[in-house]
Amino acid sequence: MTLALSNQIIWPCDLSEASKADIMDIAVKVDGVDKYKTLLDDDYKRGLFYCVHGLGTFATTSLDNRPLASFIFGKGMWVGAVAIEIFPKINLYTCELEPLTSYFFSKKELNELAKSNGEIYKLLYSIMRNNTPKLVQGMHLSFYGIEERIMYFLLELARSKGIVDTSVIELKITQQQLSEIANVSRPRVNEILNKLAGLGYISLVRGKMIILNYEGLTKSLVDKVVM
- Taking only the tens place, the pLDDT of each residue in 95-149 is 888 899 999 999 999 999 999 999 999 999 999 898 887 777 766 666 778 888 8
User: What pLDDT, on the 0 to 100 scale, is given for residue 35?
Assistant: 87
Burial class (CB in 10 A: 0-12, 13-18, 19+), 219: exposed
Dist. CA 171–CA 57, nearest whole Å: 14
The set of residues, in sequence order, having a beta carbon less than 8 Å from that of 98 and lying 6+ positions away, is 54, 55, 56, 74, 172
Tell me the C-alpha distance between 73 and 75, whole Å. 7
* Helix ranges restricted to H, 15-69: 17-25
Mean pLDDT value across the chain:
85
